[in-house]
Amino acid sequence: MSEKYTCYHELIGGCGIQHRTRTAAENCVNARRYKGIGRDIYDVSHMDDKQYVEEFPIYSPTQLELRMRLALQGIQGGGKAKEESAAPDDGGLGLLDKAFRSAIREEVGSFRKEFEDKADEISRTPPPKFLVQIGDQEPIQIDERPHNAFDRCLKMCQWRDIDGNRLNVALVGPSGSGKTTLARQVAKALGLPFYTLSLTSGVSESKLLGRIVPSQTKAGLWEFLPPEFVQAFKHGGVWLGDEYDAADENMALALNQPLSNGFLSLPDCKDEPIVQRHKDFIAIVGMNTYGAGADRIYVGRNAQDGASIDRWTCGTIEVDYDKDLERALVKSVIRSDKDAETWLNMCWKARKQLRQKNLRRIISTRNIVNIACTHIAQGGATPKEAFKQLTIGWSEHDRKVVGG
């Protein structure tokens, strides 16, 4: 006769359904899962003590686990517990079931909160870490989920142009699609320092080329203050120029010489007026458009000079929203898988409608995740209520288009 398995979902009682296979018991639709703690507890009479501990790796040895082990030992050893059972000789199945339920009911009052707190803590931990190894270098650990464009961007950042310089890379994609996160992940994977500067209109060339400031150590004297761009250019690193398509045209033009010629002219630096490009300097820019100027959504963009755009053509990467990343982040903050999936599907459906209807609205990763974290996880809002926050300020027409 084949073995059967019983689910114990809520750590008390269980559904009492006898499943033919262990997989069916684990995947029972009524099961309540405690993320990271262990699988749903089911009838383990077919296991010895060692198998039980291996199959159910509770996060720390607890009295509950010890009680289960004693119950197993009592059945295996024919001890007192067996004498108390009037059930027919079924290999200990009935006795184990009784002992298991009894022990859980006795301990649930003490340990339920501990289990809940641990589950809550684990469900909010960051996505799994991953390792990146380049050539013979030591593997580097990235403590977050990789962006879906990570592999392509990392590969292109290792390429070199005809002059031996690292490729200049442009990340083009909608607002909140993870361009900054992607650049930062690539920098860490390459073992290089990461620098960033927002190039919005009004930022002057001094943020790139440096400026003269009063000396902090020598009274009455002035000294050159190098910005992060100069440090990265001289010593190596990944430098991200964010909002590049919103930059003043002259600001963008100031980048053309160092990016193309391999050296940087610093007229205000008397000690070193010419700086050579480091072999591991990587320039990345983030854009919402392709530099042709404002559109219906990104009205604050400036048309960039053709010579400036030409510097990035070879290394342009289209970056879109990463659904896998959004799912991982949302599920790390919303405990209910059902609510998480409902929220994600509402947002994704609305985003698709916006694109199809060419409406001037944005549903970014940052808002999907932040509203899930605040309004749903902390405020107790339903996905439908949270969606009203996502579309706040929209016209009635736009809300109807996306089903809000």
State whether 146 and 231 are in the same domain: yes
pLDDT in tens, 255-270: 888 998 889 999 888 8
Least confident of 15-29, 202-216, 274-288: 15-29
* pLDDT band for position 122 (cuts 50, 70, 90): very low
CA 117 to CA 20: how far, in whole Å? 33
State whether 175 and 314 are in the same domain: yes
State whether 60 and 109 are in the same domain: yes
% of the chain surpassing 90 pLDDT: 37
pLDDT at 100 over 90: no
CA 168 to CA 284: how far, in whole Å? 6
* pLDDT band for position 46 (cuts 50, 70, 90): very low
pLDDT in tens, 299-324: 788 888 888 889 899 999 999 999 98
* pLDDT band for position 54 (cuts 50, 70, 90): very low
Provide the domain count of the chain: 3
Boundary of a domain, candidates 303, 318, 333:
318
State whether 339 and 305 are in the same domain: no
State whether 188 and 305 are in the same domain: yes
Boundary of a domain, candidates 283, 302, 318:
318
State whether 264 and 148 are in the same domain: yes
State whether 298 and 328 are in the same domain: no
State whether 165 and 277 are in the same domain: yes
CA 216 to CA 205: how far, in whole Å? 23
State whether 262 and 151 are in the same domain: yes
Boundary of a domain, candidates 100, 123, 146:
123
State whether 264 and 167 are in the same domain: yes
* pLDDT band for position 206 (cuts 50, 70, 90): confident
Environment class of 218 (CB within 10 Å of its CB; exposed 0-12, middle 13-18, buried 19+)? exposed
| DSSP three-state, residue 187 | helix
pLDDT at 82 over 50: no
CA 227 to CA 254: how far, in whole Å? 14
Kindly report the CATH number assigned to the domain that includes residue 184: 3.40.50.300
Range of the domain at 331: 323-401
State whether 254 and 301 are in the same domain: yes
State whether 163 and 308 are in the same domain: yes
